[in-house]
Amino acid sequence: MCQATASATPTQQADDERVRITRWDFAPGAATGFHVHEYPYTVTYLTAAKLKIVDKDGQESLVEMAAGGSYSRPKGIAHDVINAGAAPMAFVEVEIKLGA
């Protein structure tokens, strides 16, 4: 089981009345920390990734994503995201403020 050893690094690329765009960089074992999404959001992977997701009830799941893969989720998602792979990984998150 992968334990978080460091914090993922967020780099805010834009934040206005419509969207917030953040690049997240993770060393192996790094984590976002538990958080709740205030807005609906999309994620696009810049690198391949193996993630451990821990939900609000402590349930864990492993997810693998290819570089260039994307998905979207509604607001209210509560989780911690941990790089469970052996290599650094990164993704860009776009939070959608309009219509939220």
Q: Comparing C-alpha atoms, which of 50, 51, 53, 41 is closest to residue 92? A: 41
What pLDDT does 93 receive? 98
Q: Which residues of the chain, if any, have pLDDT below 50?
A: 1-2
Please report, for the chain, the start and end positions of each structural domain, with discontinuous segments joined by +.
Answer: 6-96
What pLDDT does 47 receive? 98
Give the Cα separation of 89 and 14 in Å (integer).
21
What pLDDT does 1 receive? 43
Give the Cα separation of 46 and 21 in Å (integer).
14
Task: Tell how far CA 11 is from the center of its chain.
Answer: 12
Q: For the chain, what's the residue count?
A: 100
CATH code: domain 6-96 is 2.60.120.10
Q: DSSP state, 64?
A: E
